[in-house]
Amino acid sequence: MPICSANKRRATGRDRAEPLLYAFLQADRSYMEKEKHIALGRCYANILFMLKIVWKKLPGFFINFCLYHIYCSVEVFIEFTVTMKYLLDLISRGGTLNEALRFVMFILFLVMAKLVWAAFMENYQIPAAKEKLKMYLQMELYEKAVSLDLERYDNPKYYNEFVWSINEAGGRMERILSDFASLLATLTRIAANGIFFLTFDAFGLLFVLLSLLINTAANSRIGRLQFAMDGELKPVERKRSYFNRVFYLSDYAKELRLNPLGDRLKEEFSEANGQVYPIIRKYGGRQMLVSFLGDFVPNDILSNIVYLGYLVYKTVVLKVLSYGSTMALFSAASSLEHSLRSLSQLFPKFEQHGLYVEKIRTFLSFESTLKTGTETLAPEDFRELSVEGVSFAYGDGEDILHDITMSVKAGEKIAIVGYNGAGKSTLIKLLLHLYDVKSGAVKINGRDIREYRRDSCRDLFAAVFQDYKIFAADIGDNVRMGAPGDIGEENAVKKALENSGFGDRLASLPKGIHTRLTREFDEEGINLSGGEAQKISIARTFYKYCPVIILDEPSSSLDPVSEYHLNETMLKAAEHKAVIFISHRLSSTVMADRIYMLENGRIIECGSHKELMGQNGRYAEMFKLQAEKYRQG
C-alpha cells in the first residue's frame, strides 16, 4: 500500500526560508507603497502621539527639555545679533567703556548659564530620558506581541509591522526628540529675528518668506523621493540581512561547511547588491537637481544678492538705517534664512517620522480576534476536553482539518498519530485556543472553550512542542517559565527534572538548577545536547500545576528505546493527569488508553493499540513498518 501524501520529505532550511522570505519582502514592498499615501495630518498626529508619551512618562523632563532649547536660541540671538547692534550703535553715538563692559558682563552671564544647563541636559538628563522612553516603548510592543493571536505570525503583513515596530521604536523616538528640539530652537530663532525685522525693517521679511516657500517645496519633494527610495531599498536590504545571518549564525555553520551552498548564497548576495545601484541611480539624479535649485535660487540669489543690495540702498542712499541696525539686520537675515531653511527641512523629516510611527501605532492598535468569554475554570474542576465536528483552515486557505471529533477525560492517556502533515500539531493549537475553529467546537466540561477566559483555559494545560525553545537563563528559570514559586520551589523544579529524565545530568552540575544555559551572556554557561534540551522542556509540564499535559513529539531527538523509557516515566509521573501524545513515531502509543489516527486532516481510525492492530488498517501498517525498521537498526 502506498504511503499517504502527508509523508513528504522534510523541507530544507533554505526551502522553508525562501518562500517565507519572498512573501515577507513582497509584503514589505506593498505596504511601503500604501504608506506613501498617508495624509499629512495623520503624519503630524503621529508625532504628537510620540510627544504625548514623553509628556505622560516624563513630564518634568519634557518641560525642562523645551525650556532649555528655547533659552539656548534666545541666548544665541542676544549674543550675536543684539550685541552687534548695541556695540556698533554705542560706538556711533560715542558711548562709554563702562556701558560696553556692563553689557559684555550681562552676555557672559547668559553664556555661562547656557553652558551649565547644557552640561546637565546633554550628559545626564537627555541620555537617561532616552533610555527610559526606549524601554517603555519596547515593553509596550513586547506586551502587545505576547497578547496577540498566534495567527498573526502566519500573516507576513503582521510580521512586517512587528519587525519594523521593534526596530524603529527606540531609535525613532530619539530622532523625533532630536528634531523636536531643532524645531523649538528654530521657531524661537525665527520669532526673535522676526520681531527684530518687524521693529526695524518689516519689508525685508518678504525676501525671507519667498525663500521659505521655495525651500519648503524643494525639501518636501526630496523627502518624498528619499522615502520612496527607502521603500524600494528596504526589501533588498532585508534580503542582504538574511544572507548575512546565514553566514554568521551558528545555526547554519555545519551545513555551510559540509555542503557547497556557500558559493550559491554568495552569488545571490551579489545579485541583491546589484539591485541596489539602479535604485540609487533612479532617485539620486532627481534628488540632486531638486536640491540644487532649492538651495541656489532662494539662498544665493534672493538673500545674498537681492536683499544685500536692498540694505545698502536703504543705508547709503535713503539713510533710514543706522550702521548698527544695518549690520544687525544682515546678520538677522542670515540667521533667519538659516532658520527657515532648517524649518523647511524639518517638515519633511517630521513627515517621514509620521510615516514610520504609523507602523508603531498600527501594530499597537492590533487586537486579538480570538473569541473569549468571562467564565473561569479552576484546574481541579477539569473533567473532560472534547472536540466536536471541528474543521479548520489557516486564513483563506483550504481546510487542514475536517470534521474532527474526539475526547479525553481527566486522567486518560490518548495518542494522536499520523504522518507528517496529517494535521496533528494544528489540532493541538486549537485545543490550546491559539486559533479559533472554522466550524464545530472545542469544549471543556461540555462548554465551548470560547466561553471561558483565554488565560483560564490555557492554565489547564502544560505543553511541550516539537519546536520547543531553551532560553538564555538558568535551568530553574527554564523549567518554571515565569510561574510563581513557593518555599518548596527548588525541590519542585528538581523533581520535575528527575521525572523528565534529566536527573543524572543535573546531579553532575556543580550549580544544579542555577546553572546557566547557553553561553549567550555567560561564558560559564553550558550548551545541552538535543535530547537534554528536550528533557528540560518536558520538565516544564511536570512543574506546572495543571490537569492536562500535551506532548507534541517532544522526544523526537531521542532514539526509540530512550523514547519508550522516557514515555513510561512520564506516564507514571503524570498518573493522575490527562496526557495527549502527538507523534508519528509509535513507541508511546502502546501505553495509551485510546489512539486517534489522522490522515489528510481526518480521523480515519480510533481505538486502543490492541484494537487498532486487530483491525489491520493504516495504524497497524504504520506500526509494523516502524517496528521492522527498529529491528533492522
Between 266 and 328, the more confident residue is 328
Q: Using CA of residue 312, residue 318, residue 319, residue 322, what is the dihedral sign?
A: negative
In the chain the first and final C-alpha atoms are separated, in Å, by 23
Q: Residue 194: pLDDT above 60?
A: yes
427 grid coordinates: 489540532
- DSSP letter assigned to residue 378: -
Question: 129: Cβ–Cβ under 8 A, 6 or more apart, which residues?
Answer: 54, 58, 61, 65
pLDDT for position 614? 92
pLDDT band at 135 (very low <50, low <70, confident <90, very high): confident
pTM for this one?
0.63
For 348, phi then psi, to 5°, come to -65, -30
Amino acid at 374: T
Beta-bridge partner residues of 551? 464, 581
The mean pLDDT of 428-456, rounded to a whole number, is 90
Cα–Cα distance for residue pair 53/56, rounded to 1 Å? 5
Q: Residue 15: pLDDT above 60?
A: no
Cα–Cα distance for residue pair 143/141, rounded to 1 Å? 5
Give the rounded percent of residues in the chain with a pLDDT score beyond 70.
84
pLDDT for position 594? 93
Q: Please, are residues 382 and 460 in contact by the beta-carbon 8 Å criterion?
A: yes
pLDDT band at 63 (very low <50, low <70, confident <90, very high): very high
The mean pLDDT of 477-487, rounded to a whole number, is 72
Cα–Cα distance for residue pair 411/414, rounded to 1 Å? 10
Between 100 and 214, the more confident residue is 100
Q: Please, are residues 627 and 615 in contact by the beta-carbon 8 Å criterion?
A: no
Which residue from 378, 306, 375, 298 is spatially nearest to 338, judged by alpha carbons?
A: 298
pLDDT for position 10? 35
pLDDT for position 30? 44
Helix or strand holding residue 384 (H, E): strand 384-392
Express each pLDDT in 143-189 by its tens digit: 877 777 777 766 666 666 667 677 777 788 889 999 999 999 999 99
pLDDT for position 225? 83
pLDDT for position 297? 66
Between 257 and 544, the more confident residue is 544
Beta-bridge partner residues of 184? none
How do beta strands 439-444 and 384-392 pair?
antiparallel
**Chain mean position to CA 611:** 50
Q: Residue 33: pLDDT above 60?
A: no
Between 113 and 157, the more confident residue is 113
Low-confidence winner among 118-122, 290-294, 606-610, 620-624 (lowest mean pLDDT):
290-294
The mean pLDDT of 476-497, rounded to a whole number, is 78
Give the rounded percent of residues in the chain with a pLDDT score beyond 90.
22
Helix or strand holding residue 387 (H, E): strand 384-392
Which residue from 312, 272, 359, 20 is spatially nearest to 156, judged by alpha carbons?
A: 20
Q: Average pLDDT of the chain?
A: 80
pLDDT for position 120? 95
- Residue ranges in 36-125 assigned as alpha helix (H): 40-57, 59-77, 83-92, 97-120
Amino acid at 106: F
Q: Please, are residues 33 and 231 in contact by the beta-carbon 8 Å criterion?
A: yes
Question: Residue 194, CB half-sphere, CA atoms under 13 Å: how many?
Answer: 11
The mean pLDDT of 506-521, rounded to a whole number, is 88
* Most confident of the following: 24-33, 68-77, 132-141, 516-525: 68-77
Using CA atoms, how far residue 474 sits from 509, 511, 513, 528, in Å, is 12, 10, 7, 12
pLDDT for position 2? 31
pLDDT for position 13? 37
Helix or strand holding residue 415 (H, E): strand 413-417
Cα–Cα distance for residue pair 367/238, rounded to 1 Å? 27
Question: Count of residues for the chain?
Answer: 633
Q: Residue 252: pLDDT above 70?
A: no
Question: 526: Cβ–Cβ under 8 A, 6 or more apart, which residues?
Answer: 509, 515, 516, 517, 518, 519
Which residue from 468, 389, 387 is spatially nearest to 428, judged by alpha carbons?
A: 387
pLDDT for position 1? 33
Cα–Cα distance for residue pair 102/122, rounded to 1 Å? 30
- DSSP letter assigned to residue 515: P
pLDDT for position 164? 66
The mean pLDDT of 33-38, rounded to a whole number, is 51
397 grid coordinates: 486557505
Between 388 and 232, the more confident residue is 388
Q: Residue 35: pLDDT above 70?
A: no
pLDDT for position 98? 92
Q: Residue 27: pLDDT above 50?
A: no
104 grid coordinates: 559684555
Q: Please, are residues 194 and 329 in contact by the beta-carbon 8 Å criterion?
A: no
pLDDT band at 291 (very low <50, low <70, confident <90, very high): confident
pLDDT for position 20? 38
Q: Residue 40: pLDDT above 80?
A: no
Q: Residue 411: pLDDT above 70?
A: yes
